[in-house]
Structure 1
Amino acid sequence: MDPILSVVVRSLCVYLFMVIAIRLFGKNQLSQLNAGDVVLLLLISNAVQNAMVGPDTSLQGGLIAALVLFVANFILKRLMFSSSSFESFMEEDPVILIKDGVLDKQALNKVKITKDELEEAIREHGADKIENVKLSILEVDGNISVISEDEKNKQTRYSRIKRKNKRKYY
């Protein structure tokens, strides 16, 4: 087999394996990285590097593997954009955690977020307690959005902080 074609096929196989593995083990498994997750990512990248390029450790082999990964990711995003059924397969729906100050314990159990973690998130958004939250949603990207009511002015305010370390759930 042609060495360039070999790198392309190997890279596509690894990419598809990783997408399926992340989907099976929970795509938001990687949304908040702790030390163990960082080590896991580094080890996975090291483990699959040889599977992608094989004996071709040249600059050309590495660039071809990277290009194939970028193209495969671009195609995956396009498929998700054009097909709602494929998108729903690849991404979970948002989950309502709090509605009108009432905590949904079943939803917390489903997404594996503790009450303390949720309270931390709502404090980050400026609400002091769960009862002041009109709506709290775990978004598809692992962030928690909070719509709260300002007690003094009785105004609704929405905040969504893009966290460096997103919340992890399985």
Structure 2
Amino acid sequence: MIFPYLDIILRSLAVYFFMTIALRVFGKKELSQLNTADIILILLISNSVQNAMVGPDTSLLGGLVAALALFIINYIIKKLTHKYKGLNELLLDKPEVLIHNGILDFNALSKLDISHEELKEAAREHGLEHLTDIKLAMLEVDGTISIISEDKKQLKQSHFKRKHNHKNLRK
């Protein structure tokens, strides 16, 4: 009885790894704030891969087996990435330094496609007027920009979410 569902499990695993690789390639900055087009994309992707996972089995049990396989592989991957640092570095992004002691890392900013205006907006959200007041600015793995200021009184527990319209801000 389990063999008909083995195909669904294997298909679900293939889709899971494809989506993991695709998200790794397209980067964390795409996940920081979802707009309408992003939500539509996610819905269309989920619809397009649904048939790839369950094949001709559109039964409730087939869908539940696919979902269970996804939950299990996600659980296993999380456990393995915590245990094996190399796998963690391969599958998961790392935080990126954007500003250190008031000095902008232009290579990182260019690679991550973060504009000067985005950094200034993040600084303002953290109550800072100038980028030189920033001790450390990081693009976190969830796409937020976290900032530690030189002035300990200015330290806030907020996060700046990147917006997708940052290309319009460049001059």
Normalising by the residue count of structure 1, what TM-score does the alignment of the two structures yield? 0.85
Instruction: Give RMSD over aligned pairs.
Output: 2.2
- Return closer, same or farther for 1:90/1:7 CA change in 2, 3 Å cut-off: same
- Return closer, same or farther for 1:90/1:119 CA change in 2, 3 Å cut-off: same
Deviations 1:52-81 (A, max 9, x none): 111211111111111110001111111110
- Return closer, same or farther for 1:95/1:135 CA change in 2, 3 Å cut-off: same
Q: Counterpart in 1 of 2:106?
A: 105
**Kept after mapping to 2: 8 A contact 1:143/1:161:** no
TM superposition shift of 1:156: 5.0
What is the alpha-carbon distance in structure 2 between the residues aligned to residue 107 and residue 113 of structure 1? 8
What is the alpha-carbon distance in structure 1 between the residues aligned to residue 163 and residue 23 of structure 2? 16
What is the alpha-carbon distance in structure 1 between the residues aligned to residue 163 and residue 155 of structure 2? 19
What does 1:17-166 correspond to in 2, within 5 Å? 17-150=18-151, 155=152, 157-162=154-159, 165-166=161-162
**Kept after mapping to 2: 8 A contact 1:137/1:146:** yes
What is the alpha-carbon distance in structure 1 between the residues aligned to residue 156 and residue 130 of structure 2? 15
% identical equivalent positions: 50
What is the alpha-carbon distance in structure 1 between the residues aligned to residue 76 and residue 3 of structure 2? 24
SS at match of 2:147: strand
Deviations 1:12-70 (A, max 9, x none): 11111111222223244333222222111111000001111112111111111111100
What is the alpha-carbon distance in structure 2 between the residues aligned to residue 30 and residue 145 of structure 1? 15
SS at match of 1:159: coil
TM superposition shift of 1:157: 4.5
1:159 maps to amino acid: K
Unaligned runs of 5+ in 2: 167-171
1:112 maps to amino acid: D
SS at match of 2:150: strand
What is the alpha-carbon distance in structure 1 between the residues aligned to residue 13 and residue 92 of structure 2? 21
- Return closer, same or farther for 1:90/1:47 CA change in 2, 3 Å cut-off: same
SS at match of 1:10: helix
- What is the number of residues matched between the two proteins? 164
- Return closer, same or farther for 1:156/1:136 CA change in 2, 3 Å cut-off: farther
**Kept after mapping to 1: 8 A contact 2:134/2:149:** yes
**Kept after mapping to 2: 8 A contact 1:102/1:131:** yes
Deviations 1:77-132 (A, max 9, x none): 11110111111111233221112222222221011111111111121122122122
**Kept after mapping to 2: 8 A contact 1:92/1:140:** yes
